[in-house]
Amino acid sequence: MSSVSWWFIYQECLPPVAYQGVAAVTPILIPCLLLRLMVASRLMPDWHINLMGALSGAAVLVHYYEESSIYFFVLCIVCYFIIATVSQKGTSVAVLSVAFIIACEQLIVAPASWHKIRGSILLMIMKMISIGFDMETRPTPHSSKSSTLQPPQAKPTFLEYCCYCIMPGTTVFGPFISYQTHLGFLNPTPLTYPWFFKLVLSLVKAVIAVCVSVCIANFLFPAPVWNKWLTAYSAALSFRTSHYFVCYLSEVTATAVGIGYENRADGSQDWDKLAVCHPRHVELPRSFSMVITNWNLSMHLFLKNYVFKPARRRVGPFGAIFLTFVASSILHGLNFQLAAVLLSIGVYAYIENRLRSKLSKRLDACVLDRPCGPECGHSHTPNDTWWVWLVNIQFTLLVMFHLAYLGLMFRSEPDMQEFDYQGFSMWHTLRKWAQLDFASHWVAMATYLVSLVI
């Protein structure tokens, strides 16, 4: 990139993009801070706080989504009726939510409008499904035996439920939180320096992420470029950093309203525990499983507790992985572009896990898809055997190769920008991957064959 290009980015791109990043969260940040002040003042009862949370959340939805906000309110009310009346609450809400997504995407909502609201709709659906399952008698997280049960969670009032579903701190950008975590914002924690530092730090990270996405990643390898894989990496990096931007904004809004702390033994609060993503584990990944976990920690928690664990008890690990990514694809909307990427990641993660598990046993080495603990029992570790470190680095490069290939789907093109707000068709997706000769899928197939023969 020439010095002129860098000067243009510094003068003409970074300032307006940073301003727009802060402006995007300001309409949510203000009501979140007001709610935080109301709770910290200890002057109002909980029902009043819940009422203000629900009303301010509704106002935020109307501000961001205008007439499309009606879909949030209708779905919220219908699901509460189901939760209050039927016995299989979680399953019923999940079935209704899937039907709602299909109806909106295929029949009711214009594609551009649906593309705009589906992320926030997904967040609200996750909340409603989780509260439905949590109100049923269910196995404990530490046991797969159906005989070990937790008592059902008490049913919230309609006002408490509405505050949970649409409160401004977790509605537009997220993150997904359980109802029990949500209740933490009602505790009158003091306005401390660590709380304010966490809020400001997350906002700074969000601004940096959006500046990298818009002003740097897209100009790293300007077309025409001699290597199409560099173009693919640039597109994937731009997409990933835009995702980090949203994740950090969700940390900002959740922290602003008073969510995400942990109580210490001395009664103070630790505000450093809230994290929605870990970019380091995505940009320099040890494995696909680490990417999946750290891409969106809150959604990973939802899928793990409400999809993967129940499915694994019935259909085994591969079936559970497949069903988890099917559920994720449906919740994201019936879009071939997203579904193809998500399902590819699920298959890649399974193949990699299978191969590395076999290699770990045959080589007696710490080459699993997740780092070994200090008492893993392997004879060869990265600290004392150089080739173990080299094997893990090779898997890191392989995952980065796959991510560049998959991320090419999200590259914006001047003649097709209208589809950025609707999603792309199957043929567009296949045509994009054909530009890279379907190399990632061929490599994944070869990796699977290797895992069969060793």
Residues 6+ apart with CB under 8 A from 238: 213, 214, 217, 218, 410, 411
Determine the Cα–Cα distance for residues 93 and 445; give it in Å rounded to an integer: 37
Contact by Cβ (8 Å): 39, 185:
yes
3-state secondary structure of 154: coil
3-state secondary structure of 138: strand
Whether 332 is catalytic is yes
Determine the Cα–Cα distance for residues 447 and 349; give it in Å rounded to an integer: 11
Q: Which two tokens stand for residue 173?
A: 């950008």
- Residue 48 has a CB neighbour count (10 Å cut-off) of 12
Assign 3-state DSSP to the chain and report helix, strand, coil percentages, each to 5.
Answer: 75, 0, 25
Pairing of strands 262-263, 269-270: antiparallel
What per-residue string of b and e applies to 58-97 under the rule 16 or more CB within 10 Å gives b?
bebbeebbeebbebbeebbeebbebbeeeeebbebbbebb
Catalytic pick from 115, 332, 402, 428? 332
Q: Which two tokens stand for residue 187?
A: 């505790």
Identity at 164, one-letter amino acid code: Y
Longest dimension (CA), the chain: 68
Q: What is the DSSP code (8-state) at residue 332?
A: T
Distance set, CA 21 to CA 26, 236, 242, 445 (Å): 9, 20, 11, 41
Of residues 49, 54, 28, 47, the one with CA closest to residue 38: 49
Catalytic residues: 332
